[in-house]
Chain A
């Protein structure tokens, strides 16, 4: 089991360029390490999982075409969205913008009672850009996803549970232990099977059903014990 800590508590774990590079390194390690069975992502400090992108660094690319190239060349969220290692997010405090979006690439989301979720980008004249406009409607019903994306309104932990955004809400003091228990349960299962199950769901849901069934058949066949 691996713990990933977003560790800029003095900046509410805002996603800076440096944190993007570190995350890229950590996620590619996870991707390439066959011994990892499950990873938990959480935020350091008392106040936030992550408050979102570090806005002080906006506009540092020379041109918007350079910004597009940079995103394509080092596609952090592309790596996270295709990672076959099961991921658990342990969310406390603010999970805003890129913070919420990061948790939406996780398979299980556990929230502390003080957790708050929002996609506030439209309040500053832009849209979520770590996949939130695509991952939110894949986890939530359409009306709830559009409310988050177009209004910037925030959800409490209880509202997030009601909307189906998180799997459980627990007292803050129990957050990491609860996340550990979920991760250990996943890690205790045969690794090839949990990875194949994640892949079957995530890749299959975007395929026509007949192709999704073919994918499941291929993955299941590969898992069958040799006779």
Chain B
């Protein structure tokens, strides 16, 4: 199986294991299926409040996938599963070890928060093969690290190590290889303890608001804030704070 999904409490853990570190149409479709499944469980006793993506992000595409033609009628784009991950409503934490190149980098960019092992490396090698990223890499990379570093990575194919990835803001923290899964699991755990509607709306506000003018984005944040004031969770959060006890969020 190139993708497995397991559940620990309110965390869905998606583990990537592309054969030989190479992604193909099937492995990306499996990722998309897992993301849609986890993303769909926002309510009820099995609600998913945070998603953790771990395992082998991969070093490239298979030769067959590279030759695959996108844009045929009735055929999903090759990157559709990566876009499905980016559309998951819950916050998505990535725990990245080893090579995270090409489609691996694109999967990482579809996650919200990236924590990495000291041995992780990042690259967008597509242009060397006369190609472009096919799963949103040219768009999400610039939004993640800004224009200067996105163009450097896309035009040169430079392989950057974990420390450099932290310096340019591609990732949020570097951990020893044996500790990165634990750190990402703990971060996902903290997110899962927060108000679940709030974490989903916070994610939405950041990604959607970044595409607006600041003036429109501030109005949008205000409207989401007002919407949250109608929730039981927000009332519970304020009550719990006043009585100095941990809140019990229900997702309502």
A residues with a Cβ closer than 8 A to B are 55-56, 58-59, 64-65, 67-68, 71-72, 77-78, 81-82, 121-129, 131-138, 140-147, 149-153, 162-164, 202, 206-207
- Give B41 Cβ to nearest chain A Cβ, in Å: 18
Q: Is the CB of A126 within 8 A of B234?
A: yes
CA distance A71 to B168 in the complex (A): 37
Our pick among B205, B212, B214, B238 for the contact of A127 (Cβ within 8 Å) is B205
**Residue B245, interface by CB 8 Å:** no
CA distance A122 to B112 in the complex (A): 16
Interface string of B217-249 (1 = CB under 8 A from A): 110111111101111011111101110000101
- Give A64 Cβ to nearest chain B Cβ, in Å: 4
CA distance A128 to B201 in the complex (A): 10
CA distance A64 to B229 in the complex (A): 7
- Give B218 Cβ to nearest chain A Cβ, in Å: 5
Question: Which residue of A is nearest B223, CB measured?
Answer: A68
Q: Is the CB of A137 within 8 A of B209?
A: yes
Q: Evaluate whether A122 and B229 lie within 8 angstroms (CB atoms) in the complex, with A141-B144, A150-B194, A206-B213 already known.
A: no
Q: Is the CB of B221 within 8 A of A150?
A: no
Measured as residues with beta carbon below 8 angstroms from the partner, the interface class of chain B is 35 or more
- Give B179 Cβ to nearest chain A Cβ, in Å: 17
Q: Is the CB of A143 within 8 A of B113?
A: yes
**Residue B197, interface by CB 8 Å:** yes
- Give B120 Cβ to nearest chain A Cβ, in Å: 13
CA distance A151 to B193 in the complex (A): 9
Which stretch from B9-17, B27-35, B169-177 is at the chain A interface? Answer: B169-177
B225 contacts which chain A residues (CB < 8 A)? Answer: 126-127, 129
Contacting A at CB under 8 A, from B158-213, are 166, 168-172, 187, 190-191, 193-195, 197-199, 201-203, 205-206, 209-210, 212-213
Q: Is the CB of B221 within 8 A of A123?
A: no
**Residue B143, interface by CB 8 Å:** yes
- The 5 lowest CB-CB distance pairs between A and B, nearest first, are A141-B169, A125-B195, A125-B237, A124-B237, A133-B205
B199 contacts which chain A residues (CB < 8 A)? Answer: 122, 150
Q: Is the CB of A58 within 8 A of B238?
A: yes
**Chain A to chain B contacts (Cβ below 8 Å), 13 pairs:** A55-B242, A81-B218, A122-B198, A124-B240, A125-B198, A125-B234, A125-B236, A126-B228, A127-B221, A133-B209, A143-B171, A151-B194, A153-B187
Residue from the set A81, A125, A149, A207 with the largest chain B CB neighbour count within 10 Å: A125
Our pick among A126, A150, A163 for the contact of B169 (Cβ within 8 Å) is A163
A interface: dominant SS:
helix
A59 contacts which chain B residues (CB < 8 A)? Answer: 235, 238
**Residue B20, interface by CB 8 Å:** no
Q: Evaluate whether A127 and B210 lie within 8 angstroms (CB atoms) in the complex, with A134-B217, A143-B169, A150-B91 already known.
A: no
B22 contacts which chain A residues (CB < 8 A)? Answer: none
A133 contacts which chain B residues (CB < 8 A)? Answer: 202, 205-206, 209, 221, 224
CA distance A164 to B190 in the complex (A): 24
Q: Is the CB of B144 within 8 A of A142?
A: yes
If A127-B228, A153-B187 are given as contacts, then 5 extra A-B residue pairs at C-beta distance below 8 Å, sorted by A number, are A72-B222, A122-B202, A143-B114, A143-B169, A207-B213
Q: Is the CB of A127 within 8 A of B146?
A: no
B66 contacts which chain A residues (CB < 8 A)? Answer: none
Q: Is the CB of A151 within 8 A of B187?
A: yes
B214 contacts which chain A residues (CB < 8 A)? Answer: 81, 134-135, 138, 202, 206
CA distance A206 to B213 in the complex (A): 5
A68 contacts which chain B residues (CB < 8 A)? Answer: 222-223, 226
Question: Which residue of B is nearest A120, CB measured?
Answer: B194
Question: Which residue of B is nearest A145, CB measured?
Answer: B206
Question: Which residue of B is nearest A77, CB measured?
Answer: B218
Q: Is the CB of B229 within 8 A of A152?
A: no
Q: Is the CB of A67 within 8 A of B242?
A: no
Q: Is the CB of B170 within 8 A of A143?
A: yes
**Residue B64, interface by CB 8 Å:** no
